[in-house]
């Protein structure tokens, strides 16, 4: 169960009610203006900035309700007035936060997003194949791939988010590079980047793991833990990538830096050079976060991927020593509790795929039912959970828990193929007859 789930409380912390002005309440009853002084789980497991704070915006309410079942509030003079229901001071205005605009509905952009994702996958598979065979390669095509992804994400970022959920373990490195590129572009837009700066960030993501093609497959794809010598070999991939991309290719310094340093840590304990925070650029810090998130949520030869919510909890717990704290917090806000394309189990036992979530209703996204309570494919049905739709027994639909990407009985790639049937015009960027989303390997 991820930390975002609400079916059971987290590990208990010591909670001492110091006065009659402190009381424990369900997190669902927390309101704007309340001062939170204790939680039902350790503070460092919850992405809030302070251990004693006044709830100032809806986002903080969502975090409390997602991570905790119970919270302790303090009714101190001037902030809270006593009373059974609690009349609280007016909330502070919510600070202006970046958002990801949508120029087109998901249904209108999904076919184009699928096409661009497919082109990116084919390009990266070809480039990495050449690297692994020791052949000469060009990275100029990566710029067009990145620009096409930027345009699609500008139209509707949720369309590309859907596609980043399609994962084939045997094609991990190529797909991982594409996903990191797409997530980096989306995150860059969320942070306000545009133009050449955004294109450079996309290149950082697409090309960051090129050096892995110089790692022996027996080490790269080993199903168990690496021994010290194998780990020494694996750690060379970032330097191999830096040397490959820096040899005769016209790339921005930021791309080379991200390739070399995406496993560095702010506390100097990363590799290959043990850089400290002052020597790690913002693009590299972004790629470090996105790379770790995608790696954690993907199936690997040695372990299954974890749900998005758990991966974000890991990022949050390691902010500061390993990851840039402000960027981690912004990334969590962007991804949301239930990101588009992720799978969730509803309180009815049915399985649904998240289509989109309103910034003001992150706990109640728009979902599409895909499996019934028995785990069988069902007639797709779209539910906007923020509008309070009811189950057959009259209970309001709600999300019980987030799920990892792989759920028995549901093929996400096939679902997207059905939803995003390409128009009749041929795709001249791919070989004739080749699907732009590779089928699952046999």
The string of DSSP codes covering 193-239 is --HHHHHHHHHHHHHTTGGGGGS-HHHHT-SSPPPHHHHHHHTTHHH
Q: Write out the two tokens for 82.
A: 């006593």
Whether 100 is in a domain gets the answer no
Q: Write out the two tokens for 64.
A: 């409390």
Q: For residue 198, give its domain range.
A: 106-335
Within a 10 A sphere around the Cβ of 404, how many other Cβ atoms?
17
pLDDT at 322: 96
Alpha-carbon span 105 to 97, nearest angstrom: 22
Residues 70 and 164 in one domain: no
Whether 132 is in a domain gets the answer yes
Q: What is the pLDDT of residues 123-176, one digit of tens each?
A: 999 999 999 999 999 998 999 999 999 999 999 988 888 888 777 766 778 999
Quote the mean pLDDT of the chain. Answer: 80
Q: Is the pLDDT of residue 243 over 50?
A: yes
Residues 271 and 134 in one domain: yes
Residues 331 and 349 in one domain: no
With beta carbons less than 8 A apart as the criterion, state whether 288 and 277 touch.
no
Q: Is the pLDDT of residue 84 over 50?
A: no
Domain containing residue 155: CATH number: 1.10.3210.10
* Helix, strand or coil, per DSSP, at residue 49: coil
* Helix, strand or coil, per DSSP, at residue 66: helix
Residues 22 and 69 in one domain: yes
> How far is CA 140 from each of CA 124, 127, 137, 146, 191, rounded to the nearest angstrom?
12, 11, 9, 10, 26
Which of 292, 307, 335 finishes a domain? 335
Which of 48, 82, 116 finishes a domain? 82
Within a 10 A sphere around the Cβ of 304, how many other Cβ atoms?
11
pLDDT at 425: 39
pTM flag (> 0.75): no
Question: H/E element holding 48?
Answer: none
Q: What is the pLDDT of residues 282-293, one digit of tens each?
A: 999 999 999 999
Whether 441 is in a domain gets the answer no
> How far is CA 219 from each of CA 230, 232, 233, rounded to the nearest angstrom?
6, 10, 8
Residues 327 and 355 in one domain: no
Whether 292 is in a domain gets the answer yes
Alpha-carbon span 346 to 373, nearest angstrom: 9
With beta carbons less than 8 A apart as the criterion, state whether 98 and 192 touch.
yes
Residues 330 and 349 in one domain: no
Q: Is the pLDDT of residue 66 over 70?
A: yes
How many domains would you assign to the chain? 3
Alpha-carbon span 336 to 324, nearest angstrom: 18
Which of 32, 67, 82 finishes a domain? 82
Q: Is the pLDDT of residue 10 over 60?
A: no
Alpha-carbon span 191 to 99, nearest angstrom: 9
Residues 299 and 178 in one domain: yes
**Cα Dmax for the chain:** 75
Whether 97 is in a domain gets the answer no
Whether 171 is in a domain gets the answer yes
Average pLDDT over residues 297-309: 82
Residues 153 and 299 in one domain: yes
Q: What is the pLDDT of residues 135-146, one digit of tens each?
A: 999 998 999 999
Average pLDDT over residues 224-242: 94
Residues 323 and 376 in one domain: no
Whether 202 is in a domain gets the answer yes
The torsion region of residue 280 among left (phi > 0), alpha (psi -120 to 50) and beta comes to beta
Residues 221 and 291 in one domain: yes
Give bridge partners of residue 73 from the DSSP assignment.
23, 36
pLDDT at 121: 93
């Amino acid at each position: 169960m991820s930390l975002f789930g609400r079916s059971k409380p987290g590990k208990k912390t010591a909670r001492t009610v110091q006065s009659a002005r402190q009381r424990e309440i369900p997190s669902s009853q927390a309101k704007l203006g309340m001062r939170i002084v204790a939680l039902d789980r350790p503070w460092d497991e919850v992405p809030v900035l302070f251990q004693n704070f006044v709830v100032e915006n809806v986002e903080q309410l969502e975090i409390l309700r997602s991570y905790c079942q119970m919270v302790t509030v303090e009714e101190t003079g001037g902030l809270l007035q006593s009373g059974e229901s609690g009349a609280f001071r007016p909330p502070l205005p919510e600070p202006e936060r970046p958002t990801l605009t949508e120029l087109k509905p998901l249904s209108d952009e999904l076919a184009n997003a699928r096409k661009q994702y497919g082109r990116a996958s084919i390009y990266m598979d070809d480039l990495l194949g050449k690297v692994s065979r020791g052949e000469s390669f060009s990275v100029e095509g990566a710029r067009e791939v990145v620009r096409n992804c930027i345009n699609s994400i500008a139209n509707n970022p949720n369309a590309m988010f859907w596609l980043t959920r399609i994962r084939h373990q045997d094609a991990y490195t190529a797909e991982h590079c594409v996903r990191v590129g797409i997530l980096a572009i989306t995150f860059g837009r969320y942070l306000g980047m545009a133009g050449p700066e955004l294109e450079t960030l996309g290149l950082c993501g697409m090309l960051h793991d090129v050096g892995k093609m110089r790692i022996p497959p027996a080490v790269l794809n080993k199903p168990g833990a690496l021994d010290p010598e194998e780990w020494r070999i694996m750690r060379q991939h970032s330097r191999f990538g830096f040397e490959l991309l820096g040899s005769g290719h016209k790339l921005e310094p930021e791309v080379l830096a991200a390739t070399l340093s995406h496993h560095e840590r702010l506390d100097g304990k990363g590799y290959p050079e043990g850089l400290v925070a002052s020597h790690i650029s913002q693009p590299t810090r972004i790629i470090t976060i996105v790379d770790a998130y995608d790696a954690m949520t993907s199936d690997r030869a040695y372990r299954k991927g974890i749900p998005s919510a758990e991966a974000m909890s890991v990022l949050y717990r390691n902010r500061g020593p390993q990851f840039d704290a402000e960027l981690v917090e912004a990334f969590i806000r962007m991804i949301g509790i239930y990101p588009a394309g992720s799978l969730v189990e509803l309180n009815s036992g049915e399985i649904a795929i998240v289509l989109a979530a309103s910034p003001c209703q992150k706990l109640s996204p728009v979902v599409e039912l895909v499996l019934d309570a028995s785990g069988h494919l069902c007639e797709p049905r779209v539910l906007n959970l923020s509008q309070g739709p009811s189950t057959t027994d009259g209970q309001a639909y709600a999300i019980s828990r987030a799920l990892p990407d792989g759920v028995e009985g549901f093929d996400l790639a096939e679902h997207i193929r059905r939803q995003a049937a390409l128009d009749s015009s041929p795709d001249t960027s791919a070989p004739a007859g080749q699907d732009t989303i590779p089928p699952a390997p046999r």
